[in-house]
């Protein structure tokens, strides 16, 4: 296997982007000259970097990271080294793990939280397999946050309107953009699969080939940056905001998931090819524990605008075969490929935490021997809300689940909810244009 240093020589790397994912999924870190990186001196970052809110604040509770604002050590993961294809000078990017000065993992690090959940599966002789599907919007450049977003102009010279689901011509409107996307992803070995046009105006979806959960989380983490960087180079924006436009559908990150045993057999299927008890337990775990991890699957106030009866996103905890109206869809497939599609997460999630949370729910259902409801055979769109409708309610549910705290880590749950509470508090202080328009002179 090629080492990092052989990789640097092959690609004549002169700079190295040393990054970690924080709670929001933003890349934090430093850019080092190659010589300094290969000297072996470990990068240090303040531990509080992990718990920055999306707007740059930090939680009020200083005990989350320590009252002295301590450092942590960032250790490069050689398996993640890749070229940065758009950089002017030969540049590599390496994702790092966070540890203390005693060498122990930082237990609030998103990458560690996913590793922790995967170890629970490994202890049972199981290996999860996942395949994420990411929806996102292309939008016209917008430098004024008070102005609504609009689709960009394509090759016809006109912005897209109406519903163009699965339209090839609509995708071809932005051919130069997608050619660069595929070229960059190929150079970074991100293994993207299919590209489709989704329902919204200039809303796209790219699917990943199935594989290991940590590797896929790394790829999604890097892919979001590829898309945003490519869009800027084409004088447009790309957004992974969950509900960016008022009259358009929201964007999701559906996660297909199955579990293999030590011999590579799908444990969701029995010897005769029928659904196994573990398959039913996994679904039941999703049904019981999903409400308690919704701050991960819907991490912002905006996320709950997507999870509405009026947007075709799931607001329920039902499951069904080839049924896109439920939260957990079972695609038609043979026994070897039996899998569950979690349709609840928005695309605004931290991919490491989303993978950890969905696998944690399924794991709890399997080891507890839970039983699911009967599958839905009709539309579930008219059912009552079965998920939290606001971030504040979701945070309370997450803090009130000892099972989730045990699986994801008590320190992590405290830190993550601290971040979300701070973000909600910041949002709540903002007076919206709706309030000024309808309340200023009328009440």
Each residue's pLDDT expressed in tens, for the chain with a length of 443 residues: 578 889 999 999 999 999 999 999 999 999 999 999 988 788 999 999 999 999 999 998 888 998 898 999 999 999 999 999 999 999 999 999 999 999 999 999 999 999 999 999 999 999 999 999 999 999 999 998 888 899 898 888 777 776 676 667 778 888 889 999 999 999 999 999 888 888 888 898 999 999 999 999 999 999 999 999 999 999 999 999 999 998 899 999 999 999 999 999 999 999 999 999 999 999 999 999 999 999 999 999 999 999 988 777 899 999 999 999 999 999 999 999 999 999 999 999 999 999 999 999 999 999 999 999 999 999 998 899 999 999 999 999 999 999 999 999 999 999 999 999 999 999 999 999 899 999 999 99
- One fold for both 4-106 and 118-408? no
| Residue 212 half-sphere exposure toward CB, CA atoms < 13 A | 10
CA distance 397 to 295: 9
Given a contact cutoff of 8 angstroms between Cβ atoms, the answer to whether 295 and 417 are in contact is yes
CA angle 404, 406, 412 (to 5 degrees): 80
CATH of domain 4-106: 3.10.20.70
Q: Report the largest interatomic distance among the alpha carbons of the chain, rounded to a whole angstrom.
A: 70
Question: Among candidates 41, 52, 44, which has minimal Cα distance to 70?
Answer: 44
Per DSSP, 64 falls in state: G
Give the span between the Cα atoms of 162 and 393, in whole angstroms. Answer: 35
3-state secondary structure of 19: strand
Q: How is the chain split into domains, by residue range? A: 4-106, 118-408
Assigned fold of 118-408: Creatine Kinase; Chain A, domain 2 (3.30.590)
DSSP 384: P
Contacts of residue 5, Cβ cutoff 8 Å, sequence gap at least 6: 38
Question: What sign does the CA torsion over 289, 293, 298, 301 have?
Answer: positive
Number of neighbouring beta carbons within 10 Å of residue 375: 14
Q: Which tokens in the block code for residue 174? A: 């932005």
Nearest to 347 by CA among 130, 132, 113, 129: 132
What's the residue count for the chain? 443
């Amino acid at each position: 296997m090629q080492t990092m240093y052989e990789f640097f020589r092959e690609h004549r790397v002169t700079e190295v982007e040393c990054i970690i994912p924080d709670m929001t999924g933003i890349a934090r870190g430093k850019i080092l000259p190659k010589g300094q990186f290969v000297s072996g001196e470990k990068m240090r970052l303040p531990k509080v970097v992990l718990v920055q809110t999306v707007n740059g604040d930090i939680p009020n509770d200083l005990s989350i990271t320590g009252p002295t604002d301590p450092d942590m050590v960032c250790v490069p993961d050689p398996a993640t080294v890749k070229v940065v294809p758009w950089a002017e000078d030969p540049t590599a990017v390496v994702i790092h793990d966070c540890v203390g000065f005693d060498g122990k993992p930082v237990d609030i690090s998103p990458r560690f939280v996913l590793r922790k959940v995967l170890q629970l599966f490994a202890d049972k002789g199981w290996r999860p397999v996942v395949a994420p599907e990411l929806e996102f919007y292309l939008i016209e450049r917008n430098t004024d946050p008070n102005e609504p977003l609009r689709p960009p102009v394509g090759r016809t010279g006109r912005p897209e309107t109406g519903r163009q689901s699965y339209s090839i011509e609509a995708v071809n409107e932005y051919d130069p953009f997608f050619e660069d996307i595929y070229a960059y992803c190929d150079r970074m070995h991100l293994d993207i699969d299919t590209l489709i046009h989704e329902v919204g105006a200039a809303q796209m979806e790219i699917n990943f080939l199935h594989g290991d959960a940590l590797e896929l989380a790394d790829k999604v983490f890097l892919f979001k940056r590829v898309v945003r960087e490519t869009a800027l180079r084409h004088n447009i924006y790309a957004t992974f905001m969950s509900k960016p436009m008022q009259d358009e559908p929201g964007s999701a990150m559906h996660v297909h998931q199955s579990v293999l045993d030590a011999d590579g057999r799908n444990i969701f299927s029995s010897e005769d090819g029928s659904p196994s008890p573990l398959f039913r337990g996994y679904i039941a775990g999703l049904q019981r524990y999903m409400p308690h991890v919704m701050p991960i699957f819907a991490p912002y106030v905006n996320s709950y605008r997507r999870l509405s009866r009026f947007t075709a996103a799931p607001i329920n905890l039902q499951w069904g075969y080839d049924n896109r109206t439920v939260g957990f869809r079972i695609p038609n497939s043979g026994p070897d490929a039996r899998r569950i599609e979690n349709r609840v997460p928005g695309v605004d999630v931290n991919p490491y935490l989303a993978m950890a949370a969905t696998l944690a729910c399924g794991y709890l259902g399997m080891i507890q021997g839970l039983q699911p409801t009967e599958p839905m055979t009709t539309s579930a769109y008219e059912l009552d809300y079965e998920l939290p409708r606001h971030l504040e309610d979701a945070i309370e549910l997450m803090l009130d689940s000892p099972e989730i705290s045990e699986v994801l880590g008590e320190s992590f749950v405290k830190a993550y909810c601290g971040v979300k509470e701070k973000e909600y508090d910041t949002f709540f202080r903002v007076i919206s244009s709706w309030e000024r328009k309808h309340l200023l002179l009328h009440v």
